[in-house]
Amino acid sequence: MQITLETKPYASLETDALVTPVFEGDDPVQGRVAELDQLTGGLLKKLAASGELTGKTLEFTLLHTPAGLKARRLLLVGAGKKDQFNVATLRKIAGAALRSLKAKSVSNFAFLAGGTLPVADGSQAIVEGLLTGDFETDKYKTDKKDKKIESVLLAGFPENAAEEAQKGMSRGRIIAESQNFARDLINEPSNKLTPRVLAEKAQAMAKDAGLSVDVLDEKKIADLKMGALLSVAQGGPEPPRMIVVTYTPANAKPGAPVIGLVGKAVTFDTGGISIKPADGMEKMKYDMAGGATMLGTMRALAALKPNVKVICVVPATENMPGGTAQKPGDIQTAMSGKTIEVLNTDAEGRLILADAITYAKQLGVTHIVDAATLTGAIVVALANINVGVFGSADQSWTDKLLTSAKATGEKMWQMPMDDEYREFIKGSFADIQNIGSGKGGGSITGAWFIREFAGDTPWIHLDIAGTAWNDDAKPWLAKGPTGVALRTLVHLVLSQ
């Protein structure tokens, strides 16, 4: 989809549709909307008076062959109250406008930017909304809808803001395309995306993006004594992979911080011998969303070129219940040397992250963020609204991430990590056990397990089990993978 900046007066744009946000208030016909009202001969005032045009968030009003405009349609999209308007709302409006026009077989439109946001932030959000909104999960459908938006004009910016707008637009494209890259991976079923295939896709991405990549095969993994990762992989015939992608800035300084991005990639989680119920098990193809998100983040960083070194480590495996699978009660030795009592083979994400974090530290990372579809318990706590955030003692590192989440409009909520919870994973027969012995707090005990391996290194864990998959389509986003956390992570790294 082509997106271009257009500084010509919007009334003269020959396009299938002109889209504009409308703010909610006593009188929604203000500013740009008042201009459009004049052009259309007072039509919008009438709609507002009748209560049909209010500006409530994502309210849609579609007018055909509007007088005074060359555009064939005028689409007014509610943007909510002006003082609450932010990049997240703008992104949603752009995505929802695109999806609704696409459904009507429109092939091109112009989006009128406006509002109170800085130009670059606004144009970035619009492009992100358009491109993530355009993403469909119909790859394996043979009767694909041929509805397609070919081109969008970004209009309404003053001419002297063109440079800033372009800057935001190119940044928005990099981030959204990387998010869609991650979503594509997450959407792949497990018969198409095994750990080996994920590694190949990571290699191809790294090559295209100019990143260095190293894939450890099962032999190397065994040589490095990654017993926790191997214990999960031993249940099925697919060999595991440890994928390492590195971004090094042009003027890397010795002694500078190195960020480690670690992502869980269980390409299918049956639960292993502690097998999951059949109902809903098909969704466990998205148990590699953390890994995909980290690879997508690296793709974006390669183009945005931050001034900090970033090492991405993705442990990839299936979790299968074969005859060689590990069994409840088995004791495994992780790469770090810690022994783990595996009380439940379905708590496998923390096992593979344990070795990935140990390896990342060995590679020299000084600050870690991990992302994982780790627990069903986080869905109970935060539903599909907030990402669960867990931190180590270094709250300043966690605060940086929360600031980035706020700035990019991704909802994240910090969970407690009191020492008392740590007691829950003390092992009876080994150093630690992989599930909590107390009742409740399942996401926190999961986080504590991972923290044991991060040790003193500042560390953040993002539990994205509730937020990485959209069960129902939203007006601005298709059903399926969301690519959540990527924008926050890109922002976090860029702000270092």
Where in the sequence numbering do the catalytic residues fall?
A: 276, 350
Confirm if 318 and 236 have CB atoms less than 8 A apart.
yes
Per CB under 6 A, the segment of 90-98, 171-179, 371-379, 472-480 that binds ligand BES is: 371-379
Q: Which residues pair with 318 in a beta bridge?
A: 268
Per CB under 6 A, the segment of 132-140, 187-195, 374-382, 394-402 that binds ligand BES is: 374-382
Q: Which residues pair with 245 in a beta bridge?
A: 213, 312
CB of 144 to ligand BES, least distance (A): 28
- Between residues 113 and 378, which has the closer beta carbon with respect to ligand BES? 378
Confirm if 233 and 222 have CB atoms less than 8 A apart.
no
Per CB under 6 A, the segment of 143-151, 367-375, 408-416, 450-458 that binds ligand BES is: 367-375
384 contacts ligand BES (rule: CB under 6 A)? no
Confirm if 169 and 129 have CB atoms less than 8 A apart.
no
Q: Which does 377 bind (CB under 5 to 8 A by kind): Zn ion, ligand BES, none?
A: ligand BES
- Between residues 174 and 377, which has the closer beta carbon with respect to ligand BES? 377
Interface residue with ligand BES among 30, 203, 333, 344 (CB under 6 A) is: 344
- Between residues 238 and 269, which has the closer beta carbon with respect to Zn ion? 269
| DSSP-based three-state secondary structure for 75 | strand
Interface residue with ligand BES among 172, 195, 227, 442 (CB under 6 A) is: 442
Dihedral of CA atoms 467, 201, 490, 85 in degrees, nearest 10, equals -50
- Between residues 38 and 137, which has the closer beta carbon with respect to ligand BES? 137
User: Which residues, 6 or more positions from 496, have their beta carbon under 8 angstroms from its beta carbon?
Assistant: 257, 259, 306, 307, 308
Report the C-alpha gap between 237 and 214 in whole angstroms: 22
348 contacts ligand BES (rule: CB under 6 A)? yes
Q: Which does 465 bind (CB under 5 to 8 A by kind): ligand BES, Zn ion, none?
A: ligand BES
CB of 373 to ligand BES, least distance (A): 4
Query: Residues 256-295: x/- map of binding to ligand BES (CB under 6 A)?
Result: -------------x-----------------x--------
| DSSP-based three-state secondary structure for 430 | coil
CB of 480 to ligand BES, least distance (A): 14
Interface residue with ligand BES among 57, 373, 392, 488 (CB under 6 A) is: 373
- With residue 486 as reference, give the H or E element that holds it: helix 486-494
- Between residues 177 and 346, which has the closer beta carbon with respect to ligand BES? 346
Residues composing the chain = 496
- With residue 95 as reference, give the H or E element that holds it: helix 87-103
- With residue 221 as reference, give the H or E element that holds it: helix 218-223
For residue 384, the 8-state DSSP code is T
355 contacts Zn ion (rule: CB under 5 A)? no
Question: Is 72 buried (19+), middle (13-18) or exposed (0-12) by CB count in 10 A?
Answer: middle
- Would you state the structure tokens that stand for residue 262, as one six-digit string? 């670690």
Report the C-alpha gap between 125 and 236 in whole angstroms: 43
- Packing angle of the helix pair 162-187, 195-209 (nearest 10 deg): 160
- Would you state the structure tokens that stand for residue 156, as one six-digit string? 């309404």
- Between residues 97 and 435, which has the closer beta carbon with respect to ligand BES? 435
- Between residues 64 and 439, which has the closer beta carbon with respect to ligand BES? 439
Per CB under 5 A, the segment of 101-109, 264-272, 321-329, 482-490 that binds Zn ion is: 264-272
CB of 282 to ligand BES, least distance (A): 12
Interface residue with Zn ion among 121, 287, 370, 463 (CB under 5 A) is: 287
CB of 56 to ligand BES, least distance (A): 32
Estimate to the nearest angstrom the gap between the alpha carbon of 484 and the chain centroid.
2
Confirm if 265 and 337 have CB atoms less than 8 A apart.
no
Q: Which residue is nearest to ligand BES (CB)?
A: 376
CB of 244 to ligand BES, least distance (A): 22
Residues forming the site for ligand BES (CB under 6 A): 269, 287, 344, 346-349, 373-377, 379, 435, 442, 465
